[in-house]
Amino acid sequence: MFVDCHSHVVPSGDDGAATIEDGRALCVSAARHGTSVLFATPHVWPHLPLTPERERAVRASFEQVRAGAGLELRLGFELTPTRALLAEDPHRYALEGTDRVLVEVDFAGPAEPVFAVAEHIERAGLRPVIAHPERTEAVLDDPAVADELAARGWAVQVNASSLTGRHGPEIEQLGWSLVERGVADIVASDGHRSTRPAHLDEAYRLVHERVGDRALSLFDGSAVGVTPSRTEARVASRG
């Protein structure tokens, strides 16, 4: 059973699920494809910050989606790095039940902002998880940036959809390089909608074919502090 630390299955005003029904359907589909724990990680963008009003709405939507999710749904957020975040307590954004915070490399522009925000997260006693660097301009231009992120001890997360070729051959090749060289620690879905679902099973099959049993640690939640045994215990206790 998979642990997926990155998805947009909770309506939040971003580009993920638009309705509660859509979010529940995405969760149920993820469960059917082998996911037992799914983190909903609404975007926190410069133009869509987590105001108190938005946070209340997100948490209300989360509770409604969770009621019919068919798996263990947890809440977190995905941060686009901005200077404004350096004045905030990152504990607010942590993946529920862990000491990890999901922060992306911005799709365009230099990588310096993600280093600054990740360092801020680390100073707060938390651990950054760096989302989908293989899809970003900075890393496509210089793949050594991903190596530097990993060298800092930060978990690097590659999208399952990158490995299955959804985003084109250049991103697919870079994603596989990060996996095969051991730079990536996590594969997650970044699922948004029915045409881009929160599925991990096909990527797991492909990764296992290439790297063997090392694939398990990329999908089982251990890299975000959710161990398989604890996950199974929670699911069993709810069943």
Could you tell me the residue range of the domain that residue 233 belongs to?
2-238
Residue 228's pLDDT is 54
Predicted confidence (pLDDT) per residue in 98-114, tens digit: 999 999 999 999 999 99
Q: Averaged over 131-146, what is the pLDDT?
A: 98
pTM above 0.75, yes or no: yes
Residue 239's pLDDT is 36
How many Å apart are CA 50 and CA 135, to the nearest integer? 24
How many Å apart are CA 131 and CA 146, to the nearest integer? 11
**pLDDT above 70 as % of the chain:** 95
Question: Cα dihedral angle (112, 110, 79, 127), rounded to 10 degrees?
Answer: -40
How many Å apart are CA 184 and CA 188, to the nearest integer? 11
Residue 235's pLDDT is 37
Question: Helices (DSSP H) in 91-188: which residue ranges?
Answer: 112-123, 137-141, 144-151, 160-163, 169-180
Strand order, beta sheet including 186-188: 43-44, 78-79, 100-104, 127-131, 155-159, 186-188
Q: Contact 214/184 with Cβ under 8 angstroms?
A: no
Q: Is the pLDDT of residue 32 over 80?
A: yes
Q: Is the pLDDT of residue 233 over 60?
A: no
Q: What is the mean pLDDT of the chain?
A: 95
Predicted confidence (pLDDT) per residue in 160-216, tens digit: 999 999 999 999 999 999 999 999 999 999 999 999 999 999 999 999 999 999 999
Q: Give 37's pLDDT tier (boundaries 50, 70, 90).
A: very high
Q: Within its chain, how far is the Cα of 149 from the centroid?
A: 16
In 46-185, DSSP assigns E strands to 72-75, 78-79, 100-104, 127-131, 155-159
**Residue 35's closest CA among 206, 193, 231, 237?**
231
Backbone phi, psi, residue 101, to 5°:
-130, 130
Q: Is the pLDDT of residue 230 over 90?
A: no
How many Å apart are CA 38 and CA 70, to the nearest integer? 10
Helix, strand, or coil (residue 120):
helix
First to last CA, the chain: 15
Q: What angle is formed at CA 69 by the lines to CA 186 and CA 92, rounded to 5 degrees?
A: 55
Q: Averaged over 131-152, what is the pLDDT?
A: 98
How many Å apart are CA 133 and CA 155, to the nearest integer? 11
Residue 217's pLDDT is 97
**Residue 102's closest CA among 188, 22, 162, 160?**
188
Q: Averaged over 11-24, what is the pLDDT?
A: 98
Tokens of 163: 């490995």
Predicted confidence (pLDDT) per residue in 44-92, tens digit: 999 999 999 999 999 999 999 999 999 999 999 999 999 999 999 999 9
Give Cβ neighbours of residue 230 (< 8 Å, ≥ 6 apart). none
Backbone phi, psi, residue 199, to 5°:
-110, 140
> What CATH number is attached to the domain comprising 83?
3.20.20.140
Q: Is the pLDDT of residue 234 over 80?
A: no
Residue 31's pLDDT is 98
Domains contained in the chain, number: 1
How buried is residue 101: exposed, middle or buried, by Cβ count under 10 Å (0-12/13-18/19+)? buried
Residue 232's pLDDT is 44
